[in-house]
A and B are shown apart, each in its own frame.
Chain A
Amino acid sequence: MLNYNHTIKEEKSYQGLQMIEMKPVMKLIVRGKKREFLSAIGKSLNMVLPTKANTSTQSEKLTALWLSPDEWMIFSNGVVKENTNSYETETLLNKNISKLDLGAVVDVTDQFVRINLKGDKIYNLFQTGSPFNFNDFRNKTGSVTQTILAKIDVIIHNQNRNEVNLFVRRSFSEHLFAWMNDSASRL
């Protein structure tokens, strides 16, 4: 059962920008190099991992983000019901990946906080605290980047036009959210 304590208590809304924590969301990090690793993940989850840098792939239930040539984050598109979640994805990958020594599977549900941002001011907000050039990113649905926002490591995923998912380590999440609110209030 998922015992997730959320860190961000409220939804925030500004002109052209809404921010909310999506919770609880199952998140996994998978690592592997072998071709068998990629095909085993593909077969198990019925989706291919993106091998092109800075991109993602999506199935009905899951999204996979490219993090590095041998590392991906997989998360559930929707929120998971706390009392019915039985870690079925992790269990499945444990069996088909870890046990067969094809790669590593780590549950990071509690390690990362997923913040969903919507609106046409998202990139104005990012510009106030990130060295990343979002010009191409914002026009390509599915784009992924790992960069810095307000000196904090973040993973950003272009979900849709004017909608992104932002992943931040839990211990930094409250501070980052406070910073984002402060910055958004002055856009």
Chain B
Amino acid sequence: MKQLRDLSKQKIGVVAAGHSSVIANMAGLKLPLESKPLQALVSEPVKPIIDTVVMSNAVHAYVSQSDKGELVIGAGTDDYVSYSQKGSHDIVEGTLNAILELYPIFSRMRMLRQWGGIVDICPDASPIISKTSIKGLYFNCGWGTGGFKATPGSGDLFAHTIANDEPHKLNAAFNINRFVSGDLVDEHGAAAVAH
């Protein structure tokens, strides 16, 4: 595939999360990403039983209760690349095993829904908010399993990066060139599993 060099007068910012590589490939660009299914589950609604978000790095799972009374449960990704939006049953089983280690009382809860979203994961598990080797093409991606809470800040910094064709000092470290220079930002190490 031919790699684009310059979008000349245009500027394009790509925020396609799990599909970032698909878009990058259109421009002949490879990204340091793998897209994997990440699942979550929701139970039948019950009366208030847990009033906070509980996240365990030891058994690897999280649970909270929605205002409607449903338990919201999740854990980690499958280990293979997939865009199928359905993860494996094995992951669901492992997630619920972990939840039951924490809360045996949930053993008879019925799960109502389960789904898999496709998350784009960097080798260092940190995001990319960056210019690329193609002038005028920018990527905000690699948020993996933890890009929800960062959305407003990441949007702001991405806009800054596109407008100035230079990163803001807060996202300078999250440039795509870190995979060449070796200045990785080890989110796995910093956050263990939770974020």
Residues of A within 8 A of B97 (CB): 151
Bound complex: CA of A131 vs CA of B97, how far in Å? 16
B13 at the interface (CB under 8 A from A): no
Interface of A is mostly: loop
The 3 residue pairs across chains A and B that have the minimum distance between CB atoms: A151-B94, A131-B90, A151-B97
Shortest Cβ distance from B93 into A: residue: A151
Main secondary structure of the interface of B (DSSP, over half): helix
Give CA–CA (A131, B94) in the complex, Å.
13
User: CB-CB < 8 A to B90: which residues of A?
Assistant: 131
Against B, the Cβ 8 Å flags (1 = close, 0 = not) of A117-140 are 000000000000001000000000
Which positions in A face B, CB cutoff 8 Å? 131, 151
The residues of B that contact A131 with a CB separation of less than 8 Å are 90
Which residues from chain B contact A151 at a C-beta distance below 8 Å?
A: 94, 97
Chain B residues near A (Cβ < 8 Å): 90, 94, 97
A26 to chain B, nearest CB (A): 35
Smallest CB separation, B32 vs chain A (Å): 31
Instruction: List 3 interface pairs A-B (beta carbons < 8 Å), by A numbering.
Output: A131-B90, A151-B94, A151-B97
Q: How distant is the Cα of A121 from the Cα of B56 in the complex, in angstroms?
A: 36
Closest chain-A Cβ to B172's Cβ sits at a distance in Å of 43
Shortest beta-carbon distance, B60 to chain A, in Å? 13
Q: How far apart are the CA atoms of A84 and B130 in the complex, in Å? A: 71
Whole-angstrom distance between the Cβ of A153 and the nearest chain B Cβ: 14
CA distance A56 to B90 in the complex (A): 29
Q: Could you tell me the distance in whole angstroms from the C-beta of B65 to the nearest C-beta in chain A?
A: 27
Question: Distance in Å from the Cβ of A70 to the closest Cβ of chain B?
Answer: 26
Residue in B closest to A150 when the chains form the complex, CB atoms: B97
Q: How far is the CA of A151 from the CA of B94 in the complex (A)?
A: 9
CA distance in complex: A131, B88 (Å): 12
Q: In the bound complex, how far is the Cα of B97 from the Cα of A151, in angstroms?
A: 10
A87 to chain B, nearest CB (A): 40
A149 CB to nearest B CB, Å: 13
Which residue of the partner chain A has the closest CB to B89?
A131
Distance in Å from the Cβ of A152 to the closest Cβ of chain B? 12
**Whole-angstrom distance from the CB of B61 to the nearest CB of chain A?**
14
- A151 and B59 CA atoms in complex are apart in Å by 14
- Bound together, the chains give a CA A131 to CA B90 distance in angstroms of 9
Complexed CA–CA distance, A151 and B101 (Å)? 15
Nearest Cβ on chain A to B100's Cβ, whole angstroms: 13
- Please measure, in the bound complex, the distance between the C-alpha atom of A131 and the C-alpha atom of B91, giving whole angstroms: 13
Using CB atoms, name the residue of chain B closest to A148. B90
Instruction: Using CB atoms, name the residue of chain B closest to A129.
Output: B93
Q: How many Å from the CB of A131 to the closest CB on chain B?
A: 7
Question: In angstroms, how far is the closest chain B Cβ from the Cβ of A15?
Answer: 24
Least Cβ distance of A183 to chain B in Å?
Answer: 14
Whole-angstrom distance between the Cβ of A129 and the nearest chain B Cβ:
10
Question: Once the chains are docked, how many angstroms separate the CA of A151 from the CA of B90?
Answer: 10
Cβ of B94: which chain A residues have Cβ within 8 Å of it?
151
> What is the distance, in angstroms, from A122's C-beta to the closest C-beta of chain B?
22
Closest CB-CB distance, A79 to chain B, in whole Å?
A: 35
CB B79 to nearest CB in A, in angstroms, measures 15
Q: How far is the CA of A131 from the CA of B89 in the complex (A)?
A: 11
Shortest CB–CB separation between residue A143 and chain B, in angstroms? 24
CA distance A151 to B98 in the complex (A): 12
